[in-house]
Amino acid sequence: MRSLGTDAGRRRQRESGFSLIEMTTVVALTIVVSVISVISLMPLLNAQHVVNAYNTTLSAMRQARDNAVSQRTSYSVTFQNTTVPNTITVAWAPVSGESNMGELLPTTYQFPNNVGISIPPSGLTPPDNYGSGSSAIDFGYTASSSAGGATVIYFCPDGSAQTSNECAGAGNWDGGVVYFGRVGDYMSWRAVDLWGATGRIHGWRLYPKTGGGGNYQWLRQ
């Protein structure tokens, strides 16, 4: 009788645990649920990356303009899309002989790796009609030049944007636009343009045209 009782106790202990098959099933289900969750979140994460790049671009340009006005000097904004991640650098751009204003070190902002400064989808009317949309970084439009394609802009003490740190005034006011998004994802595209005479900065987003048909247009944000 003692032996039968002992065997029954051992069987109850074995039966109260999990078998290898049960544990494997639970682990497999956990992995499947995790993968599905990640896949469903990817579009949201990608969209947020584009929003981050858009906000970074606006902030960098506005920072340069505000610094130029408040410090009565010139600041440059340089766009770089030749290496990943793409970057925007804001730097003090003193004219020859301008005294040192202290620790004014350049500030570089990075785009998310999956968002690039690139040539936008073709067939669109560019924001504020700057250029043809054939350049990813397309500044340099002035009263005397329609070449565009410049990658550096200069903000001056009067708040205007010009083609050099000399801030020579009318005729040198620098307008243009920069485009960025996720290649192949039309609805991700953003643009930021600049009116040289006033230094005003506008944000744009690509939207389907009313009525559909596969056509898109830039709308100001």
- For 114-144, give the DSSP string: T-EE-PPPSS-PPGGG-S-S--SEEEEE-SS
pLDDT of residue 17: 61
Q: Are 202 and 192 in contact (CB under 8 A)?
A: yes
**Domain CATH number, residue 153:** 3.55.40.10
3-state helix, strand and coil shares in percent for the chain, rounded to the nearest 5: 35, 25, 40
Please state the domain count of the chain.
1
At 161-219, the pLDDT tens digits run: 999 999 998 889 999 999 999 988 888 999 999 999 999 999 999 998 876 555 889 99
Is 26 among the domain residues? no
Beta bridge partners of 191: 179, 204
Is 39 among the domain residues? no
Beta bridge partners of 204: 191, 220
pLDDT of residue 23: 74
Is 80 among the domain residues? yes
pLDDT of residue 1: 47
pLDDT of residue 155: 97
Cis peptide before 157 (omega within 30 of 0): no
- Residue identified by tokens 């020579």 is 168
Is 130 among the domain residues? yes
Domain that holds residue 152: 46-220
Structure tokens belonging to residue 80: 């770089």
| Cβ-Cβ contacts under 8 Å for 174 (sequence gap 6 or more) | 139, 140, 141, 142, 150, 153, 154, 161, 162, 163, 194, 196
Is 178 among the domain residues? yes
Is 114 among the domain residues? yes
Is 18 among the domain residues? no
Does the CA dihedral 79-80-84-90 come out positive or negative? negative
Parts of the chain with a pLDDT under 70: 1-18, 26, 28-29, 31-43, 99-103, 211-214
In the three-class reduction of DSSP (H, G, I as helix; E, B as strand; rest coil), residue 186 is classed as helix
pLDDT of residue 169: 84
Is 9 among the domain residues? no
